[in-house]
Structure 1
Amino acid sequence: MDISYRGEVRSQVSFPKALKWKKRMPYIVAYGVLFITTLPVILMYLWLLLNSFSSQMKYGFIPVNFTLDNWRFLWTNVEIAGSVYPSIWLATWNSLVFAGVLTILEVIIGVMAGFALSRLRFPGRHGLLKITLILHAFPSIALLIAVFYILNFLGLFDTLWGVVLVKTALQIPLTAWIIKGFFDDVPWDVEWAGLIDGCNRFKVWYSIILPLVKPGIAAVCIFSFLSGWSEFLLLYTFIISDSNITLATYLQKLLSDPNLVPYGLLTAVSVFYMLPVIVFFILTQKSLMHMHAGGGKGV
């Protein structure tokens, strides 16, 4: 075979390979950057998990002496320096009740408010839409004194239900705004078709429009639950009795005395605190992946 011909064949074979690597290069760079930025977070959670099953960490990151003593809170009440801590299962139940009731109230009120803001034309609507975002911008800590007086007057201080109402009121403005965007994406023709077929306004809303905004409702449910599950400031401020303790305030109790912090126990409780969120995310990730941002076609 002629040498020039063999060189031409070799160049034709190598050219597709070079082209293939050139196409893959953006993906390689993107995944490389993603790996580098997420590696510290992954190592942090891995350290947390390993530390929860060891009595000490050699050099700060090598676990030694496997033990389940850090997880003793699962079968008995923790006692540190003579102080007996509440049951972790009571704290877990209170956290589930708080997050669940918050999600139900926020979704019901937010969906109805979002529909009204999207479909109804009433005086002051534009101003109300702007105020909803302004209200959500207020930090919770700026309202603590006023909220304390209100809860104390209503007899809801040191109750989960009182904090649920406060958290719901703070979350509804943004929830209504998000849901409004999804309702804006539903064509008016769909609603008019239902009315022409003899349905009343409520039946059109419940039977026709709501199924079309399920991705938005699912997203709001997920974010509402996670917000309630991770809430700390309001619960720490307005809950003082151990009977209403949640997992967030349980962790704070373990950190209350810096000189007696049981770090192994603290990491185990932290891992336990994350487990429901991980399970919840696994069960709801399809809804998150299919979610698109609400349109907001205009105010």
Structure 2
Amino acid sequence: MDVTSSHKETKAVKPFALKWKQRLPYFIAYGVLGITTMPIILMYLWLLMRSFSEQMKFGFIPVSFTLENWTFLWTAVEQGGTVLPSIWLATWNSFLFAGSLTVLEVIIGVMAGYALARIEFPGRQALMKTTLILHAFPSVALLIAVFYILNFMGLFDSLWGVVLVKTAMQIPMTAWIVKGFFDDIPWDVEWAGMLDGCSRIKVWYTIVLPLVKPGIAAISIFSFLSGWSEFLLLYTFILNDQNVTLSAYLHKLMSDPNMVDYGLLCAVSLFYMLPVLLFFIFTQKSLMQVSSGGGKRV
């Protein structure tokens, strides 16, 4: 009887131990992710609490709830004796800049990516090899050259001028990414459309583009986020307050270290992040559907 009961206990223990052994990698992975993301979560939590409190006791305990920090939504903000532009004007300019950048980058990038993937032309391979090099130049290294070009074209202190500059800097990488998605589409799909009497452009528009929707969605999302978070080019080439964006608006709040209202700064920072969070929530499904584009043909 003792041997039989011992055998049954051993059989019961083995599945339990095996179950925990199989789950151990998941516990380790989630533990590492939790430890690494905890500081970021705490920073955002502190930002939220500080925006609704008059001060923070010991640096992290909110004291006395208030909405005073959010009055910038309906009143003008005065900083060092200077009245800042309306937050809604800055918001509109940010949406205008990011939206225009997204439209231009997607249209030009998709056409350039298709040409690189499907059309043989002189210098094609050399252009593809230098594409990533062009994208590698940091914006700060090109500021002087960009200033002379914008000034010559009469686009200095203009949102449209900065949109063109930002678009030109991002198109190389966008075209390379989209090319990978076009490479994944078999030639037979296009040949079948042209044999049915469709022109090359009609085949591209009606047959090929719907097949690369995940890639177009991905570059659209990344283009918008890049435009929304842009600061250096806007800060350098935009002087008029009527063209200010939210990133430059935040810089104005921090321009004088001795007069920074941290409650107001935290509230404006949360307001600046809110569209990005909403945009990510509504587009994460498209991002999850994106598979890595390949480069079958060079």
TM-score of the pair, normalised by structure 1: 0.99
Q: Distance in 2 between matches of 1:248 and 1:80?
A: 16
> Match of 1:94, as an amino acid?
N
Report the counterpart of residue 105 of structure 1 in structure 2: 104
Residue 53 (str. 1) matches residue 52 (str. 2): yes
Residues 192-227 of structure 1, C-alpha deviation per residue, up to 9 Å, x if partnerless? 011111111011000100000000000000000000
Q: CA deviation at 1:83?
A: 1.4
Contact 2:117–2:297 (CA<8 Å) still a contact in 1? no
Residue 217 (str. 1) matches residue 216 (str. 2): yes
* Corresponding pairs, count: 298
Q: Distance in 2 between matches of 1:56 and 1:291?
A: 44
Report the counterpart of residue 4 of structure 1 in structure 2: 3
Q: Distance in 2 between matches of 1:267 and 1:297?
A: 47
> Match of 2:89, as an amino acid?
L
1:51-200 matches, within 5 Å, as 51-200=50-199
Answer with 78-87 or 245-254: which moved more: 78-87
Q: Distance in 2 between matches of 1:170 and 1:262?
A: 35
Stretches of structure 2 that go unaligned for 5 or more consecutive residues are: none
> Match of 1:169, as an amino acid?
A
Q: Distance in 1 between matches of 2:297 and 2:61?
A: 56
Residues 263-292 of structure 1, C-alpha deviation per residue, up to 9 Å, x if partnerless? 110000000000000000000000110101
1:260-279 matches, within 5 Å, as 260-279=259-278
Q: Distance in 2 between matches of 1:295 and 1:72?
A: 50
Residues 24-56 of structure 1, C-alpha deviation per residue, up to 9 Å, x if partnerless? 000000000010000001001111111100010
1:7-18 matches, within 5 Å, as 7-18=6-17
Q: Distance in 1 between matches of 2:257 and 2:288?
A: 42
The list of structure 1 runs, each at least 4 consecutive aligned residues, that deviate by more than 6 angstroms after superposition, is none
Identity %: 73
- Secondary structure of the residue aligned to 1:282 is helix
Stretches of structure 1 that go unaligned for 5 or more consecutive residues are: none
Report the counterpart of residue 235 of structure 2 in structure 1: 236
Root mean square deviation of aligned Cα: 0.6
Residue 42 (str. 1) matches residue 41 (str. 2): yes
Q: CA deviation at 1:10?
A: 1.1
Q: CA deviation at 1:8?
A: 1.0
Q: Distance in 2 between matches of 1:257 and 1:82?
A: 12
TM-score of the pair, normalised by structure 2: 0.99
- Secondary structure of the residue aligned to 1:63 is strand
Report the counterpart of residue 297 of structure 1 in structure 2: 296
Q: Distance in 2 between matches of 1:89 and 1:179?
A: 34
Q: Distance in 2 between matches of 1:284 and 1:60?
A: 36
- Secondary structure of the residue aligned to 2:294 is coil
Q: Distance in 1 between matches of 2:47 and 2:235?
A: 24
